[in-house]
Amino acid sequence: MSEDNKAIVRRWVDEMCGQRNLSVGDEIFAADVVDHDPIPGQAPGVEGQKQVLREVFAAFPDFHSRAEEIISEGDRVMLRWTATGTHQGDFFGAKPTGKRITYKGIDSLRIADGKIVERWGVSDDLDLLQQIEAI
């Protein structure tokens, strides 16, 4: 089960984030997934997960993420990730700077019936905002 859960999370990082295949979200997230750390204005459920990525892809067209570490135990998966990109579009009111960014975070996910049903996330938002000169 742990390896199956890791594979679900790898699909999120590789296919949904990396290949920008947002339709994969319907396969790996429960329709009513609960995001305990949503961005401002994020829609609920799987549509909110897609919305976040659309906004990221628009602001950072060359966005790339990679899993640094995936640990699974029972129905829980921990993902430590790094993302890179170039700030070329508006991002939460911050005008494009052309700056290259590196952004890091950790997500804790709960999996049930082969889908992500809950997400808790921590990322270095202050560092990101400093990199794009928003603060």
Q: Where are the domains of the chain?
A: 2-131
Q: Decide: pTM greater than 0.75.
A: yes
Tokens of 37: 């750390």
**Which residues neighbour 64 within 8 Å (Cβ) at sequence distance 6 or greater?**
18, 83, 84, 85
Q: What pLDDT score was predicted for residue 41?
A: 94
Q: What pLDDT score was predicted for residue 7?
A: 98
C-alpha span between 77 and 93 (Å, rounded): 32
Cα atoms in the 13 Å half-sphere on the side-chain side of 96: 12
C-alpha span between 5 and 106 (Å, rounded): 16
Q: What pLDDT score was predicted for residue 92?
A: 86
C-alpha span between 78 and 57 (Å, rounded): 23
**CATH architecture of the domain with residue range 2-131:** Roll (3.10)
Per residue in 2-40, pLDDT (tens digit) is: 899 999 999 999 999 999 999 999 999 999 999 999 999
Q: What pLDDT score was predicted for residue 109?
A: 98
Stretches in the chain below the pLDDT threshold 70:
1
Q: What pLDDT score was predicted for residue 52?
A: 96
Q: What pLDDT score was predicted for residue 53?
A: 97
